[in-house]
Amino acid sequence: MDKIINILKTNTDYVSGEYIGTELNITRSAVWKNIRKLKENGYDIISVTNKGYKLDLENSFNKDMILENLPTKIMGKNTVFFNETDSTNTQLKLIATKDGINVKEGTLVIANTMTMGRGRLGRTWTANKCEGIWLSLLLKPNIPPENASVITLLAGIAVAQGIENSTGIHTNIKWPNDVLVRGKKICGILTEMDCEMERVNFIILGIGINVKTTEFDNELEKIATSIALEKGATTNRTKILHSILLEFERLYRIFIEKNNGFLPFVSQYEKLCVNIGNKINVLGNETFEAVGLGITPDGGLIVKRSDNQQEQIIVSGEVSIRSIS
């Protein structure tokens, strides 16, 4: 199959099945079968009758492409790729549970399509075919479970910065876990943890980024966007992924080495966070209106309540934040 990809890579126009067959000394039907396998492996190959096959590298996304020139040392070095799966978080959890302590930190599970993508608070996450980056990363930080929510905040910075570096699109963060462009959601983060009372066994960091989607369903249209809709310099998912993984690895290393919670990242997060200085609705056990003031050294959101002017710290969890200005 590598040989077919090489032929397609060296030809920018259509290549006939007959030509490929002759070059590789295989039948046209063997060519067709291999092309079908390549498509299943995430290569976007356009087939046109009487013309042949053409590779669209910009739209292709697969394990080989991810591992080629991967700029990280840990994140994604061990990659499991699915053309289609239920949920990358679910699959990574299966791997981590099966491999136990031997599972490698930085293991990446990534898919072209998810049939049962999961969002926060039990919601579903739409992950249409080849339209986004749907990934899950395995982390094994030596931290107590109560500090684990910082990982979501680090991921927010990494996605915001990674998208900006690779596409030039300016992004913001809605505390604690949405990345926005012009107020619309471009990325959601679902962090799940396996832990004991005092230690984390592993964390699954799930990140979903809308890349190529140009049409959203009715209710999503007003609140969601994608790289394609925002006209970034590239919608090449491999480039965007590399940029995000590199940024996340850098931040994660500082987090582990400094052992100082979220403190080293507070000022960068505050600059990116749309909730600071703006009115929000805090939706949880109690619902109230407030203004975001800042971020605490352990990643909480400091707000001033509109009803009694008292300051309060919101810790991430079952709380939802709605921007109202």
Q: Which residues bind ligand BTN (CB under 6 A)?
A: 87-89, 114, 117-120, 123, 125, 127, 134-136, 188-190, 206-208
Shortest distance (Å) from residue 127 CB to ligand BTN: 6
Shortest distance (Å) from residue 45 CB to ligand BTN: 25
**Angle ∠(178,181,182) on CA atoms, nearest 5:** 120
Q: Integer distance in angstroms from the first to the last C-alpha of the chain? A: 54
- Of the two residues 55 and 184, which places its CB atom closer to ligand BTN in the complex? 184
- Of the two residues 23 and 105, which places its CB atom closer to ligand BTN in the complex? 105
Shortest distance (Å) from residue 320 CB to ligand BTN: 10
Q: How far apart are CA 278 and CA 314, in angstroms?
A: 15
- Of the two residues 275 and 294, which places its CB atom closer to ligand BTN in the complex? 275
Encode 26-42: b = buried (16+ Cβ within 10 Å), e = exposed. Answer: beeeebeebbeebbebb
Within 129-231, residue ranges assigned H as helices are 149-167, 218-221
Q: Name the residue with the smallest CB distance to ligand BTN.
A: 188
Shortest distance (Å) from residue 208 CB to ligand BTN: 3
Q: What is the DSSP letter of 232?
A: -
- Of the two residues 139 and 190, which places its CB atom closer to ligand BTN in the complex? 190
Q: Are 312 and 290 in contact (CB under 8 A)?
A: yes
Shortest distance (Å) from residue 175 CB to ligand BTN: 13
- Of the two residues 7 and 220, which places its CB atom closer to ligand BTN in the complex? 220
Q: At what angle do helices 17-24 and 2-10 cross, to 10 degrees?
A: 130
